[in-house]
Amino acid sequence: MPAIRYEAPRSVADAVRLIGADPGARVLAGGTDLLVQFRAGVRQPTAFIDIKRIPELVGIRVDASGLHLGAATAAAVICEHDEVKRLWPGFVEAVHLIGSTQIQGRGTVGGNLCNASPAADTTCALIVNRAECVIAGPKGERTVAAEAFCTGPGRNVLEPGEFLVAIRMPRPAPRTADAYLRLIPRSEMDIAVAGAGVSVTLDASGVCTAARIAVGAVAPTALLVPDAARVLIGSRIDEAALARAGEAASAAARPIDDKRGTVEYRRTIAGVLTRRAAAVAAQRAIEK
């Protein structure tokens, strides 16, 4: 077996150089996908580029503009952050659903996004919160909207030599809240049959003025569903509006049959979860 290298660069510039110099190099964040794929022989990297020694890759900053999340920050660190929990409870819900306590100690939101599983729990929550992905590469830095980052199962927009540095989310407007729900056949430690993220903004009288809805595990990538958000806007997010939003989410779903669920089941569940998540988000927005 050819020798594999391990590198732990201390700066983004050094990481870009290392990744660009070796097409077989793979970026190592939490390793909860990469090392499993490596062990299974799915990926045979020539080098592991461990990005966790780069200061800006690890850590959380919340300021007036919003959240700045280092892409390699462990899930457990996010779930313990009081300000992030208060401002983005739905995002933290999604992060908290991934894997076991042990996996949470290693796995990262950046890795969850880059792995590009259609069922990735955090992706819907990032999309509805208008997250931007900060990418570094040989040509410098660029940003991509979360909904445009994944291009298919296991595929994303990263070009050779590029890697995900950070995720930014704008600070929520007043009376704005998010929620994320997923369905799995057991109570813990499984992969979503379907998932739904919702963010809503209410005015002082309780009328919805803005909404974002995304569904997961029902298409090759997580889907932003503007049609579902549109029916909430202008409503008081009552039962009728929730039902129509759920129908719009079901209509947008393009699921597959597999061992976790059938096309019909996934389509139905995407609507149910959308309805419920929207109700939770609306209630949270009222309480803000």
Partner 1 sequence: MAKLHVETTINGEPAEFLCEPQETLLSALRNGVGLTGTKEGCATGDCGACSVLLDGRLVPSCLVLAPEAQDRTVTTIEGLAPSSPGANHDTLHPLQQKFLEHAALQCGFCTPGFLVAAKALLDANPDPSETEIRYWLAGNLCRCTGYDKIVRAVQDAAKEIRAAR
Q: How many angstroms separate the CA atoms of 240 and 245, rounded? A: 9
Q: Which amino acid belongs to residue 185?
A: P
| 21 binds partner 1 per the rule CB under 8 A | no
Q: Which long-range contacts (CB under 8 A, 24 or more apart) does 112-116 make?
A: 113/146, 113/149, 113/150, 113/156, 113/164, 113/167, 114/27, 114/29, 114/156, 114/158, 114/164, 115/33, 115/154, 116/149, 116/150, 116/151, 116/152, 116/153, 116/154, 116/155, 116/156, 116/221
Please give the size of the binding site for partner 1, defined by CB under 8 A: 28
Q: How many angstroms separate the CA atoms of 239 and 225, rounded? A: 19
* Contact assessment for residue 199 and residue 129, using Cβ atoms and an 8 Å cutoff: yes
Question: Among 6, 63, 82, 205, which residue interacts with partner 1 (rule: CB under 8 A)?
Answer: 6
Question: Among 74, 146, 158, 228, which residue interacts with partner 1 (rule: CB under 8 A)?
Answer: 74
Site for partner 1 in 103-142 (CB under 8 A): 103, 105-106
Tally of residues, the chain: 288
The residues, ordered by sequence, that sit 6+ positions from 13 with a Cβ below 8 Å of its Cβ are none
Pair type for strands 176-183 and 194-202: antiparallel
Question: Among 23, 39, 41, 204, which residue interacts with partner 1 (rule: CB under 8 A)?
Answer: 39
Binding mask 186-225 for partner 1 (x = CB under 8 A): --xx------------------------------------
The stretch among 30-38, 138-146, 172-180, 192-200 that binds partner 1 (CB under 8 A) is 30-38
CB of 254 to partner 1, least distance (A): 30
Question: Among 15, 25, 29, 32, which residue interacts with partner 1 (rule: CB under 8 A)?
Answer: 32
CB of 8 to partner 1, least distance (A): 7
| 42 binds partner 1 per the rule CB under 8 A | no
Q: How many angstroms separate the CA atoms of 98 and 120, rounded? A: 8
CB of 187 to partner 1, least distance (A): 8
The stretch among 32-40, 122-130, 240-248, 262-270 that binds partner 1 (CB under 8 A) is 32-40
Q: Which residues bind partner 1 (CB under 8 A)?
A: 3-6, 8, 28, 30-32, 35-36, 38-40, 48, 50, 52, 74, 76, 99-103, 105-106, 188-189
